[in-house]
Amino acid sequence: MWIKKIVQDLINKHKTNDPFEIAHEKKIQVIQYDLHEDIYGFYRCVRRNKFIFINSNLTERKKFFTLGHELGHSTCHPEVNTPFMRSNTYFSIDKIEHQANRFAVELLLTDDLVQEYLAEQMTIYEIAALHQIPVELVKLKFKGLF
């Protein structure tokens, strides 16, 4: 649950869970660019300068998740430059990718928000569709709650 604590501390510090605002406040340059359709985004650290590239062709919700994922890399793995590719990342068994996915889910689906959705009797599938997050990753959040 160390990732959940890091995310909660980040939300408390920046008083938002908006990945674009957090990246701005952390002085991470977010660049939206027309990337290949298999690449949602990637994080790069060059001489202590941090950059996150986001595929400009993504929906706004997918941009939020992708940026949350890449913020996970910049926060948990600041010196690792890892591409975030649709073909092998969402369900990757790779530890770093799994941690970045967990970070994004914790950032975008706060416990309070999930409780609101449950009070509205929304299913995991409806929550996943609303946020355009794979169901498997929403299930990760629910495992952490119960």
Instruction: Please report, as a single letter, which amino acid is at residue 115.
Output: Q
Q: Let me know if residue 120 belongs to a domain.
A: no
- Domain with 42 in it: 2-109
In angstroms, the CA 77 to CA 89 distance is 16
Instruction: Please report, as a single letter, which amino acid is at residue 52.
Output: I
Q: Let me know if residue 130 belongs to a domain.
A: no
Q: Let me know if residue 122 belongs to a domain.
A: no
Q: Let me know if residue 141 belongs to a domain.
A: no
Closest CA to 99 of 43, 61, 57: 43
pLDDT string in tens for the chain (146-residue length): 799 999 999 999 999 999 999 999 999 999 999 999 989 999 998 888 999 999 999 999 999 999 999 999 999 988 776 654 444 445 444 788 889 999 999 999 999 999 999 999 999 999 999 998 889 889 888 875 65
Q: Let me know if residue 103 belongs to a domain.
A: yes
Beta-strand relationship, 49-55 and 29-33: parallel
Question: Which CATH number characterizes residue 54's domain?
Answer: 1.10.10.2910
pLDDT given at position 72:
94
Q: Let me know if residue 118 belongs to a domain.
A: no
Q: Let me know if residue 137 belongs to a domain.
A: no
In angstroms, the CA 52 to CA 43 distance is 4
What is the tally of structural domains in the chain? 1
pLDDT given at position 144:
59
Q: Let me know if residue 128 belongs to a domain.
A: no
pLDDT given at position 82:
61
